[in-house]
Structure 1
């Protein structure tokens, strides 16, 4: 097994519980880690034998831009559902989302939600 990592995808979204978050929006960053078999594509050198990270990026970007949730947890689950549905070579996926503009008191860089799902149980 190998890992494909796509780090720090950035989007401007309208996710959040508060009306201001849905109206004004805020930036988020997403990290993806996909566990895939890489031995065969490493030998054949054919993109069709692996998971195209360009296609993963395009599909996740379209999903994030076209969905709005109250909770970042819901966005994480939605992205995992998308990966499971579209990319059958992925055996395990981890999605992390960082939200930088959270309306709460305190000094912090961001909040982060992470979930890992095993697709090949």
Structure 2
């Protein structure tokens, strides 16, 4: 078993329940961890035999571009696409963070964590 982490993927997007969030947008951070068998790719040294982190990053960016009211919804879409498109992934965990959320206080970020396994 092996693990691949993509940390601090920075995205500007338009998620949130407030109308203003859909118009103004905000900065987001996504952290993604996947687990799978990387022993074969370690021997073959072939991209075709591993979990492609470029593909993982593409999924995150595409799903973050689709507006949602809740971070939970975006996280679920990311999880589902990773498991659907990358068959070597056995488990995936994602954290979607809104930087400086409009909470009426000094909060650096709020994060929703979700995970899924095959």
Q: TM-score, normalised by structure 1?
A: 0.93
Task: Give the conservation status (yes or no) of the 8 Å contact 2:71–2:112.
Answer: yes
3-state SS, counterpart of residue 16 of structure 2: coil
3-state SS, counterpart of residue 103 of structure 2: coil
Q: Map of 1:12-91 to 2, 5 A cutoff? A: 12-65=12-65, 67-91=66-90
The match for 1:114 is 113
Q: Per-residue deviation at 1:25?
A: 0.4
Structure 1 position 99 matched with structure 2 position 98: yes
How many equivalent residue pairs?
A: 118
Q: TM-score, normalised by structure 2?
A: 0.95
Gaps of 5+ in 2: none
Give the alignment's Cα RMSD to 1 decimal.
Answer: 0.9
> CA–CA distance in 2 between the matches of 1:10 and 1:57?
10
Q: Per-residue deviation at 1:38?
A: 1.1
Gaps of 5+ in 1: none
Q: Per-residue deviation at 1:63?
A: 2.4
Q: Per-residue deviation at 1:60?
A: 2.1
> CA–CA distance in 1 between the matches of 2:108 and 2:31?
16
Which runs of at least 4 in structure 1 moved beyond 4 Å after TM superposition?
none
3-state SS, counterpart of residue 43 of structure 2: helix
